[in-house]
Structure 1
Amino acid sequence: MSNIGIIGCGWLGSRIAEKLSDGHTLYCTTTSPDKVEGFNAKGYHPAIIDFDKEDKTQDQSVWNAPDSLEILIVTVTLSGKRMDDAILEKRFRNLSSFIGDFKGQLFFMSSTGVYPDLSEVFTEDDLQPEQVPGENMIRARYPKANVLRLGGLMGDSRLLSRYRISATELPVNHIHYADIAAVVEKMISLHSEGKLYNVVAPLHPSKAAVISAQQNGPDQELHEPKGRTISSSRLIEDLNYQFIFPDPRFFHV
């Protein structure tokens, strides 16, 4: 059993917590007072922390867990093409002040949105953390941190068919939350450090095919159109990982 902290127990963080709650002691942060009672009921030891506030000290006594944690998972967004530099710097400054010189196993969630909008296949080698401002801050402060570049987050009520979508002929780069949680769990068991992975379902059907499947359209043979495609080959090979949901057309099944 390990003591695990989840900083940012929102849509994704809460689902990772569900996966790891069996056999581990969990601590979490949230920005929402409405979630505290539910997290307490689940035994997550929650604290209300907002890393975008000006005061970087924020009474750390409300969550003194970092000193007792062996594993820390940060889902607070630190990357994205549309993130303002000042917001990013303040958020990371507050976050790093909060967790201090953490020496345990550390995970940061990034995004495949850091890759250029080009009709190519991208691997981790095409964009090093030093070229991504948020990831560069992470690696400079925590060189052994694992950085996971997540595809479009899907699962449960998050279905592509529920959104207004353009360019439906292009391929998707999606990931089911269950696979994110399973990848983190496997990396914990392997004591992974300093890794950079694209966490994206290995199949890339078109947006139109995904929407059709979710709307109970006729079964179609998988066709992967040309377009911006993020490869998860390194993750699959390094971790010998088999995806729970390899095909985004069937995330809803």
Structure 2
Amino acid sequence: MKTIGILGCGWLGLHLSQYLLNKGYSIKGSTTSEAKLPELQAAGITPYLVNLQEVKEDQIHSFLTDVDVVILTIPPIRGEESDLYQQSFARLLPYLNQHGIQNVIMMSSVSVYAPQEHEVTEESSAYSNDPTSKQILAAEQVLLQTSELTTCILRLGGLFGPDRKPVRYIVNRGILENPELPVNMIHLRDILQFTAALLDQGFSANEVFNLVSPQYSNRLDYYTQEAEELGLTLPPLGQNDWTTFRKIAGTKIVKQTGLDYQKA
């Protein structure tokens, strides 16, 4: 089986590593925290200390040796208006080339899209002016415009899973804004199954996929279900700001993999 290098073993990267290990892949995982190395090792991941802001050549070369596919699960710095995030991806490129790595998967975000009246597909070119969203889109382009790479961009909805419950934030905040607007969420298990399917199938051309569960009709529907599951009471409903309307279509990945979104 292939060796997968997962750059950034945070919440998503760690879950993805464990899922792929169970499917028989060999996993190299990186962290910027030396204290986290034993945790990765205990999970069966071969751990490496890698910081793309301050690359140490011995570390990055060790990490990339014998890796077949690199998966980037490194989040941007929220609100940062400089090009640090984009630069970190660009800094990685020559090392990928040196190691002959041609396939990359990037965990991106549907936040790159601007609010718009029509359902948003991967063909949309209306992008957000939010600083964090612009960082993400610029990093995507670093990979997509590199001719030596074949890149698969997974634009994820809001993340939730068994140990990540955004409804708690809503309850603590004390108000549920935009209850009737679309909710663009993605369950951890769907990210895992679709990513594994892409690795199993392989990809020979640059691709962009939105990953958004079709299960929920709007924000109130999603948060009501989540609150009931946890025995929580939703706070009062706020106003709907229809200028922020953004409904993301996530059907392309279903056609590509032959899998469907799972019920949460």
1:5–1:71 Cα contact (<8 Å) kept: yes
Q: TM-score, normalised by structure 2?
A: 0.79
Q: What's the counterpart of residue 68 of structure 1?
A: 66
Q: The residue matched to 2:83 in structure 1 has which SS?
A: helix
Q: TM-score, normalised by structure 1?
A: 0.82
Relative distance call for 1:41 and 1:157 in structure 2 (3 A) is closer
Distance in 1 (CA, whole Å) between partners of 2:35 and 2:224 is 36
The unaligned stretches of length 5 or more in structure 1 are 219-224, 246-250
Distance in 1 (CA, whole Å) between partners of 2:152 and 2:210 is 11
2:176 matched to 1:156? no
- Give the ranges of 4+ consecutive aligned residues of structure 1 lying more than 4 Å apart after TM superposition: none
2:113 matched to 1:115? yes
The unaligned stretches of length 5 or more in structure 2 are 128-133, 171-175, 232-239
2:193 matched to 1:182? yes
Instruction: Kindly state the Cα deviation for residue 98 of structure 1 after the two structures are TM-superposed.
Output: 4.3
Q: The residue matched to 1:64 in structure 2 has which SS?
A: helix
Distance in 1 (CA, whole Å) between partners of 2:71 and 2:149 is 15
Q: What's the counterpart of residue 86 of structure 1?
A: 83
Instruction: Kindly state the Cα deviation for residue 210 of structure 1 after the two structures are TM-superposed.
Output: 1.7
Map residues 1-253 of structure 1 onto 2, 5 A cutoff. 1-22=1-22, 23-53=24-54, 56=55, 58-61=56-59, 64-77=62-75, 82-101=79-98, 102-127=100-125, 132-141=137-146, 142-164=148-170, 165-193=176-204, 194-216=206-228, 227-245=245-263, 251=264
2:86–2:138 Cα contact (<8 Å) kept: no
| RMSD over aligned Cα atoms | 2.7
Q: The residue matched to 2:17 in structure 1 has which SS?
A: helix
Instruction: Kindly state the Cα deviation for residue 77 of structure 1 after the two structures are TM-superposed.
Output: 3.0
Instruction: Kindly state the Cα deviation for residue 76 of structure 1 after the two structures are TM-superposed.
Output: 1.4
1:78–1:134 Cα contact (<8 Å) kept: no
Q: What's the counterpart of residue 222 of structure 1?
A: none
Q: What's the counterpart of residue 221 of structure 1?
A: none
Deviations 1:21-67 (A, max 9, x none): 021211010112222112112231111222233xx4x1334651323
1:151–1:175 Cα contact (<8 Å) kept: yes
Distance in 1 (CA, whole Å) between partners of 2:52 and 2:15 is 21
* Residue identity matched to 1:148: L
Relative distance call for 1:143 and 1:105 in structure 2 (3 A) is closer
Q: After superposing the two structures, state which structure 1 stretch, 10-19 or 166-175, moved more.
A: 166-175
Deviations 1:169-192 (A, max 9, x none): 211100011111111110111112
Q: What is the number of residues matched between the two proteins?
A: 235
Q: What's the counterpart of residue 237 of structure 2?
A: none
Instruction: Kindly state the Cα deviation for residue 196 of structure 1 after the two structures are TM-superposed.
Output: 1.1
Identity across aligned pairs (percent)?
A: 23
Distance in 2 (CA, whole Å) between partners of 1:79 and 1:181 is 24
Distance in 2 (CA, whole Å) between partners of 1:192 and 1:166 is 40
Q: The residue matched to 1:149 in structure 2 has which SS?
A: strand
2:113–2:126 Cα contact (<8 Å) kept: no
